[in-house]
């Protein structure tokens, strides 16, 4: 089975799992961890991972705009992290994907996560990621398991979950941006500011997520990894043709 097929399979698994009750909560925190760690670093706060799949930082900023910008940085960072993980996978550095997320989980447990459910989730993730890494170098099991292949599957699954959850989160925030301010479902920090219209921020986040998805499709679905350098030139040429046509119409 080639790498593209594996990626598509695990993207599908991540998408289906995101709709199942308990699994949805478990998978959502893969994205929340990255998003909230970035936010916690910027605002110097702690992290709470909730039982309903949501997460929040404990920072208390008087400025909703500052809170929105920090939240935006977290969402953007999570999308970039997913792309970076897929890049490492495309280069064959599967173990680095595991090490990076394992390190982030341990660091978050030590420095930021401060509620019971969050600690339990973080410990479970750390243990699950540490086991294949440990047995990769140990041969104490009575059965023959190819842990190198286990690392491949786990790394692709991690990247897929983070990528899918980034898209889902962007869609949810965009939906909240169109809700009235009195709607109790409008909870995302990104849409609380009045300085910039919430709809604008929601559309920006959704738009950059679409761009990330396009970049992913162009560069990672057809492995080995290669940047599609012709695409920007083609888009620029098409834009010039459109503007030339419009200019010609006005001249007439």
Of 49, 130, 53, residue with least CA distance to 95: 130
Flag whether 239 is in a domain: no
Flag whether 244 is in a domain: no
List the structure tokens of 9: 């399979």
Give, to the nearest 10 degrees, the angle between helix 21-43 and helix 3-17: 100
CB 74 within 8 A of CB 35: yes
User: Does 245 have pLDDT greater than 80?
Assistant: no
Query: Where is mean pLDDT largest: 14-23, 172-181, 195-204?
Result: 14-23
User: Does 21 have pLDDT greater than 80?
Assistant: yes
Total-model pTM: 0.83
Flag whether 250 is in a domain: no
CB 150 within 8 A of CB 132: yes
What is the model's pLDDT at position 222? 60
Of 17, 7, 12, 5, residue with least CA distance to 216: 7
Flag whether 222 is in a domain: yes
Q: Which residues pair with 57 in a beta bridge?
A: 47
Q: Identify the residue whose tokens are 């990626």.
A: 7
Flag whether 151 is in a domain: yes
What residues contact 17, with CB distance under 8 A and at least 6 apart? 23, 24, 27, 161
What is the model's pLDDT at position 20? 93
User: 190-236 pLDDT, tens per residue?
Assistant: 887 776 777 888 889 989 999 998 889 888 876 444 444 454 555 45
Flag whether 169 is in a domain: yes
User: Does 251 have pLDDT greater than 80?
Assistant: no
What is the model's pLDDT at position 225? 42
Give the total number of structural domains in the chain: 1
Q: Which residues pair with 141 in a beta bridge?
A: none
Flag whether 251 is in a domain: no
- Percent of the chain exceeding pLDDT 70 equals 83
List the structure tokens of 178: 């169109």
Flag whether 246 is in a domain: no
Task: Determine the structural domain holding residue 186 and report its residue range.
Answer: 3-226
């Amino acid at each position: 089975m080639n790498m593209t097929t594996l990626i598509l399979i695990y993207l599908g698994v991540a998408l289906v799992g995101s709709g199942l009750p308990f699994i949805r909560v478990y998978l959502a925190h893969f994205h929340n961890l990255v998003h909230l760690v970035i936010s916690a670093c910027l605002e110097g706060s702690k992290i709470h991972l909730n039982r309903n799949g949501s997460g929040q930082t404990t920072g208390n900023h008087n400025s909703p705009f500052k809170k929105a910008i920090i939240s935006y940085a977290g969402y953007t960072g999570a999308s970039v992290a997913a792309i970076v993980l897929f890049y490492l996978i495309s280069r064959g550095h599967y173990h680095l994907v595991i090490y990076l997320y394992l390190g982030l989980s341990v660091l978050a447990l030590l420095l930021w996560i401060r509620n019971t459910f969050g600690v339990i989730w973080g410990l479970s993730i750390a243990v699950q990621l540490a086991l294949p890494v440990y047995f990769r170098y140990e041969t104490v099991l009575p059965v023959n398991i190819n842990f190198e292949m286990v690392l491949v599957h786990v790394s692709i699954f991690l990247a897929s979950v983070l990528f899918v959850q980034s898209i889902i989160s962007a869609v949810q925030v965009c939906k909240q941006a169109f809700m009235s301010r009195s709607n109790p479902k409008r909870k995302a920090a990104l849409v609380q500011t009045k300085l910039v219209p919430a709809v604008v921020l929601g559309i920006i986040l959704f738009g950059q997520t679409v761009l990330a998805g396009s970049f992913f499709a162009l560069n990672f679905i057809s492995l080995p990894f290669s940047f599609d350098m012709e695409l920007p030139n083609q888009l620029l040429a098409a834009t010039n043709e459109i503007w030339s046509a419009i200019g010609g119409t006005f001249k007439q």
